[in-house]
Amino acid sequence: MEPAIKLESLTKRYSFKILALRGISMEIEHGACVGFLGPNGAGKSTTIKILTGLIRPTDGKAYLNGKDILLNKKEALSDVGCVVETPDFYTYLTPVDTLTYLGKIRGVDDLDARIEEILKLVKLEDWADTRVGSFSKGMKQRLGIGQALLHDPRLIILDEPSSGLDPKGMAEVRDLILRLKKEGKTLFISSHMLSEIQQTADKVALINKGEILAYDTVDALGKKYFTVREVTVETADPVRDAQLHAVESMAMVRAVTVENGTRLLIRFEGECDECRYDLLRGLFDAGIKVTSFVPKGLALESVYMEMIK
């Protein structure tokens, strides 16, 4: 089976001086949820606009579900739902009017029932008959996500789906993305919300200055680019100077910080379970009564900042 998304040496030059994409290549398998991360101007929106047929690349190929977006745009986009940048709608229409209009263009079956289902899904059922002109940015974002899902596509492309949403709205979008994942949808999500991506995406693609720097799971990226980890240790008794010296002398330990006498923040080198076991055994050998040993998970933000600096 062809990948859901396939990019081959995709290049976009806006002018002689502005090279937005530098021959990027990537494949996304069906059913995957991939986060697309990078700073402003990195090439995220340019990539999504090419994938959705809004602009043409200078060179390279882009395929959706095996269909060439350049040669057969209509067929390539037939099973795709997307939100590109900030969605906007006719201000004099209501959500029901808007989705009815778009649903008829798409040829959606049993349209009235599907619109009711979508409005509940994006939490707009109470504003179904309110004109969009009175909507906040966050409400328009919800409607944008709703129209992307209206025809029940297999592939969903979302550009900053949490933009303009309050914390409650962001949590609802996150839950919706997780629900779509369970349904087997393929999701390609551009975002600056690193924590949101970490909670939803199977893989992340990091882009900067038009180049894909890395494309893998967060854990795999961490193992590749980071060897130093941190663990928080709580102790029953205050740590004595001799015990602290014993911990600092361990071969794997890079730094130790003591907080309130009974909390140690230990930076150590090594990722494997055996390394953590050796560290814990060393604490016991030093006579430290350990009551809590909590390794710190690798944050996507750490990988992201390390890659783009």
**pLDDT tens per residue, range 142-194:** 999 999 999 999 999 999 888 777 888 888 888 889 999 999 999 999 987 77
Whether the per-residue pLDDT at 218 is higher than 70: the answer is: yes
Q: Do domains 5-79+153-216 and 223-308 have the same CATH topology?
A: no
59/217 Cα distance (integer angstroms): 28
Closest listed residue to residue 36, CA positions, set 49, 17, 55: 49
Determine the topology of domain 5-79+153-216 in CATH: Rossmann fold (3.40.50)
**Range 48-70 average pLDDT:** 96
pTM above 0.75, yes or no: yes
Domains of the chain, by residue range, sit at 5-79+153-216, 95-150, 223-308
Q: What is the pLDDT of residue 96?
A: 97
Whether the per-residue pLDDT at 226 is higher than 60: the answer is: no
The full DSSP string for 179-195 is HHHHTT-EEEEE-S-HH
CATH number of 223-308: 3.30.70.1560
Three-state secondary structure call for residue 199 = helix
Closest listed residue to residue 53, CA positions, set 71, 36, 37: 71
Whether the per-residue pLDDT at 123 is higher than 60: the answer is: yes
Tokens coding 231: 């663990």
Q: What is the pLDDT of residue 129?
A: 96
Q: What is the pLDDT of residue 276?
A: 81
